[in-house]
Amino acid sequence: MKQPLLDKIHNKTAVIGIIGLGYVGLPLMLRFAEAGYKVLGFDIDPGKISKLLTGQSYIKHISAEPIAAAVNAGLFDGTTDFSRTGEADALIICVPTPLNKHREPDLTFVLKSTDAVVPYLRPGQIISLESTTYPGTTDEELLPRVESNGLKVGEDIFLVFSPEREDPGNEKFSTRTIPKVCGGVTHECMEVGLALYGAVIDRVVPVSSTRAAEMTKLLENIHRAVNIGLVNELKIVCDAMGIDIREVIDAAATKPFGFTPYYPGPGLGGHCIPIDPFYLTWKAREYGLHTRFIELAGEVNTAMPDWVVGKLMDALNERGKALKGARVLVLGIAYKKNVDDMRESPSVELMEKLQKKGAVIAYSDPHVPVFPKMREHYFNLKSVEITPETLSTYDCVLVATHHDAFDYDIILQHAQLIVDTRGVYRETCENVVKA
């Protein structure tokens, strides 16, 4: 079955099925359609499917134009009907892998998606998991499910793991130009996986196994989490010593070798860095190992919102005001600048902590006009417009996400107090507290 599938991929008659049309699946759909493949998208949210089929985008940094072009060219169709997965020659799973309330891996979306397609699997298909997970997931969870109906992986059907590497809002790299790591259950699986991704990605990096590919993704994000934990801890030390940590980092970054700058913040956000390290620490316990270094960095990063709240309380106290009853405007609630992505945003945690202490919370974010429904968090709020008049009504403005759309000069001129967690205001200002 390998050669007929390879032929379909090479001559672009293969139908590409993408399960999960969010921040990972939607750009991947557009890339395959751009390359001339017909794409069949699956999602459990009928609202997303409806928008896509009418050429609309529901993700701010992804333009509607290429979606409409794919639909009009007959290269994209979307559905909530998973019985149609049998129509696809390639099935790429791009669903969330969050943590449960005990900070343990939650593979519910991956396993439900896999179970939904198993009844419709047929010879001559390839399945690729892109969702970040612990080493062994593909072999231990997906492989037995895929083979449960008598199909033999590596002969009848092919199974690979290729971790997503999307960076929402990053204009320097695209889905096409970001190198793609891929590991197969067998050599034949790898061969098909390389052909599939090589057809649309400039560079595909093969590794020896699905476990190696799964660990690669974890290493990438653990590397960032640990280094961010380091500078967050140094920020606390520098603050106690009266030193500007960002000045120190910028100076150290002038060294042309052996140093990579990472910058502190109010906590970790996004779908990867706050979550992925816990996938490895959980799996390591199965082998009787404790990832102390990774867990320590996690503790430091997790504690940052509390530290920021403490700085804000101190700043108010110095001005004769209590946090209870204070009006606090949070600037930016997306997890990173210039996007509308709210996943694991530290801004939301800051809002909850401040509200619990009695503060009256509002927010301003041009990318998130209305606070969205989230799995664990919700505020019945709309974005506040930044004007001299509105700024003057708040006791404190908390810079949590530094969107370029904010007019920081107006904010500086009219805010009574600014607590800056992002290093927006580098010079010493009377109404600015660096946190």
pTM exceeding the 0.85 threshold for the entire prediction: yes
Distance, CA of 363 to CA of 372 (rounded, Å): 13
Residue 189 appears among annotated catalytic residues:
no
Whether the predicted pLDDT of 14 surpasses 80: yes
- 228-434 is a CATH 3.30.413.10 domain: no
Beta pairing partners, 419: 398, 433
**How sure is the predictor about 341, in pLDDT bands with cuts at 50, 70 and 90?**
confident
Q: pLDDT class for 271, splitting at 50, 70, 90?
A: low
Rounded CA separation 226/273 (Å)? 9
- SS3 of the chain: the string is CHHHHHHHHHCCCCEEEEECCCCCHHHHHHHHHHCCCEEEEECCCHHHHHHHHCCCCCCCCCCHHHHHHHHHCCCEEEECCHHHHHHCCEEEECCCCCECCCCCECCHHHHHHHHHHHHHCCCCCEEEECCCCCCCHHHHHHHHHHHHHCCCECCCEEEEECCCCCCCCCCCCCCCCCCEEEEECCHHHHHHHHHHHHCCCCCEEECCCHHHHHHHHHHHHHHHHHHHHHHHHHHHHHHHHCCCHHHHHHHHCCCCCCCCCCCCCCCCCCCCCCCHHHHHHHHHHCCCCCCHHHHHHHHHHHHHHHHHHHHHHHHHHHCCCCCCCCEEEEECCCCCCCCCCCCCCHHHHHHHHHHHCCCEEEEECCCCCECCCCCCCCCCCECCCCCHHHHCCCCEEEECCCCCCCCHHHHHHHCCCEEECCCCCCCCCCCEEEC
Fold equal for 2-208 and 228-434: yes
* pLDDT band (50, 70, 90) for residue 276: confident
Please give the torsion angle defined by the CA atoms of residues 261, 418, 272 and 107, in that order, rounded to the nearest 10 degrees.
Answer: 160
Report which of 304, 317, 382 is spatially closest to residue 347, judged by C-alpha positions.
304
- Write down the catalytic residue from 94, 182, 189, 272: 272
* 2 dihedral zone (left: phi>0; alpha: psi -120 to 50; beta): alpha
For the residues 289-313, what does the mean pLDDT come to? 94
Measured CA to CA, the distance from residue 154 to residue 157 in angstroms comes to 6
Instruction: Give residue-wise pLDDT tens across range 27-50.
Output: 999 999 999 999 999 999 999 999
The Cα–Cα gap between 194 and 145 comes to: 23
What are the domain boundaries of the chain? 2-208, 228-434
d(CA 243, CA 229): 18
Give the pLDDT mean for 397-426: 96
CA distances, 237 to each of 165, 182, 426 (Å): 33, 41, 18
Kindly give, in sequence order, each residue whose CB lies less than 8 Å from that of residue 60, ignoring residues fewer than 6 positions away.
Answer: 339, 340, 367
Question: Tell me: the pLDDT tens digits for 165-220?
Answer: 988 777 788 999 999 999 999 999 999 999 999 999 999 999 999 999 999 999 99
Superfamily of domain 2-208: NAD(P)-binding Rossmann-like Domain (3.40.50.720)
Residue for token pair 């996943």: 343
Position 275 scores a pLDDT of 82
Tokens of 146: 């895929």
Query: What was the pLDDT predicted at 100?
Result: 80
Query: 346-356 and 292-318 helices cross at what angle (nearest 10)?
Result: 50
pLDDT in tens, 63-85: 999 999 999 999 999 999 999 99
Mean predicted confidence (pLDDT) in 151-158: 97
Considering only CA atoms, which of 314, 190, 188, 180 is closest in space to residue 240?
Answer: 314
